[in-house]
């Protein structure tokens, strides 16, 4: 068996898009609960851009190679794999890193058997986005059917997943914000959101209050951060939950935020990340994904929206498109 493999590398360890290239690196060896998976496709995520530039805090157990989601075939195991997996199984999964490669060593606790109804490309676009949305909606947001939900960055891959989860699990109303009218139309017509508001041309918090008869929404999932802090407090319902998963905008809360809303409405604001969580936590989310979403992927009720599939030799082009922030679905790479 070869001791090396091809993988996407970064010249000098971090840099611009042009620093990405395919290199020959050591092939990983599975240990303990890990499986060695031969990768067919991997998905791109916004964190990959930050990591490429050297600005993302990578977990200590992560390899330096980019990529956290993939689909492929199991070729070997460590000495303590989870029951139910065998050599030759077709799987998809979530990893701490290393998916931009021909092979990955990953915990079997974060693998899911690939349904025959789904393509390799689709499966590579599920793990990071759908598990993140599951975490935000259920574990942190404490969602129950009948609640109202607002997803910011509504055409991002996580929100595309989350809107479908919310609609599919009986939310009374599902709202979204985007920064383009075409994306607003997409999340309503394609994903089933109740309404979507262009955050650059409307006062979306006031629109949310109008649409909920002044009550506000029970759960807000936010990727923007400080720039939406005041509006989130205004748009949230009493006893609402605000879940922050990213900082796409400024990190400093602007002056003028009415903090009395926070106390008066008894709100809970919680920040979270998925990649830094331990294996047991991520395994719990894997199980929730299988329970809540996998049957609906198979039936066709839930869809994995793919913007474009690239051969991995065109990884620079894939990063350029992601950086433009114009996509309405996953960017996927095929390993050849």
Chain Cα centroid distance, residue 333: 16
Q: What is the pLDDT of residue 334?
A: 98
DSSP for 84-149? Answer: T--TT-EEEEE-SS--SBSEEEEEGGGEEEPPTTS-HHHHHTSHHHHHHHHIIIIIIT---TT-EE
Alpha helices in the chain, H assignment, sequence order: 46-52, 120-124, 127-134, 157-168, 181-189, 204-211, 229-235, 260-264, 279-292, 294-299, 315-324
Residues 71, 18: one domain? yes
CATH of residue 48: 3.90.180.10
278 lies in some domain: no
Nearest alpha carbon to residue 156 among 243, 264, 44: 44
State the Cα–Cα distance between residues 299 and 245, nearest whole angstrom: 29
How many domains, the chain? 2
- Model confidence at 220, pLDDT cuts 50, 70, 90, reads very high
Secondary structure class of 250 (helix, strand, coil):
coil
* Domain co-membership, 12 together with 62: yes
Identify the domain boundary among 220, 252, 271.
271
Looking at the fold, whether 156 and 255 belong to one and the same domain comes out as yes
Residue 227 CA to residue 220 CA, distance in Å, equals 14
Q: Bridge-partner residues for 333, per DSSP? A: 42, 310
267/143 Cα distance (integer angstroms): 15
pLDDT digits (tens, 9 = 90+) for 235-292: 999 999 999 998 777 777 878 888 899 999 999 999 988 888 888 888 899 999 998 8
Residues 174, 263 within the same domain: yes
Is 39 in contact with 29 (CB distance < 8 Å)? no
**pLDDT value at residue 292:** 85
Is 116 in the same domain as 151? no
Instruction: Estimate to the nearest angstrom the gap between the alpha carbon of 4 and the chain centroid.
Output: 30
How far, in Å, CA of 312 to CA of 39, rounded?
A: 12
Position 42 confidence tier, pLDDT thresholds 50, 70, 90? very high
In a domain, 36, yes or no: yes
Q: What is the pLDDT of residue 1?
A: 61
Q: Give the range of the structural domain holding residue 43, as residue numbers without chain letter.
A: 4-126+305-334
Same domain, 160 and 101: no
Select from 271, 289, 319 the last residue of a domain.
Answer: 271
Q: In whole angstroms, what separates CA 146 from the centre of its chain?
A: 24
Statement to judge: residues 191 and 261 lie in one domain: yes
Regarding whether 101 and 21 lie in a shared domain, the answer is yes
pTM of the model: 0.94
Confidence of residue 24 (pLDDT cuts 50, 70, 90): very high
Q: Are residues 121 and 144 in the same domain?
A: no
**Residue 110, domain member (yes or no):** yes
Together in a domain, 122 and 136? no
Instruction: Specify if 69 maps to a domain.
Output: yes
Distance CA 70, CA 8 (A): 14
In a domain, 292, yes or no: no
**Do the domain assignments include residue 289?**
no
């Amino acid at each position: 068996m070869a001791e090396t493999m091809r993988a996407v590398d970064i010249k000098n360890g971090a840099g611009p898009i042009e620093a990405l290239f395919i290199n020959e690196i050591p092939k990983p060896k599975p240990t303990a609960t890990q499986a060695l998976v031969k990768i067919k496709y991997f998905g791109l995520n916004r964190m990959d851009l930050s990591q490429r530039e050297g600005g993302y805090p990578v977990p200590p157990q992560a390899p330096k190679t980019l990529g956290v989601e993939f689909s492929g075939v199991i070729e070997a195991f460590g000495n303590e794999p989870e029951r139910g997996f065998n050599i030759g199984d077709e799987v998809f999964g979530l990893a701490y890193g290393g998916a931009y490669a021909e092979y990955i060593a990953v915990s079997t606790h974060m693998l899911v058997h690939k349904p025959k109804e789904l393509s390799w490309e689709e499966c590579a676009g599920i793990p990071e986005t759908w598990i993140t949305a599951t975490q935000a909606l259920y574990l942190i947001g404490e969602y129950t059917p009948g609640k109202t939900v607002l997803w910011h960055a509504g055409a991002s891959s996580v929100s595309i997943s989350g809107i479908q989860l919310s609609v599919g699990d009986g939310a009374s109303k599902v709202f979204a914000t985007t920064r383009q009218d075409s994306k607003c139309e997409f999340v309503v017509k394609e994903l089933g959101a109740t309404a979507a508001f262009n955050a650059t041309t409307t006062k979306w918090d006031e629109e949310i209050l109008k649409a909920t008869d002044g009550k506000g929404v029970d759960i807000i999932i936010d990727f923007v951060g400080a720039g939406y802090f005041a509006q989130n407090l205004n748009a949230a319902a009493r006893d609402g939950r605000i879940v922050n998963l990213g900082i796409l905008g400024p990190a400093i809360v602007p002056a003028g935020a009415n903090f009395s809303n926070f106390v008066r409405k008894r709100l809970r604001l919680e920040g979270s990340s998925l990649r830094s969580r331990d294996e047991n936590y991520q395994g719990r989310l894997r199980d929730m994904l299988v329970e809540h979403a996998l049957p609906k992927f198979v039936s066709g009720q839930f869809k994995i929206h793919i913007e474009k599939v690239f051969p991995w030799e065109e990884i620079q082009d894939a990063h350029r498109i992601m950086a433009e922030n114009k996509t309405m679905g996953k960017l996927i790479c095929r390993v050849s």
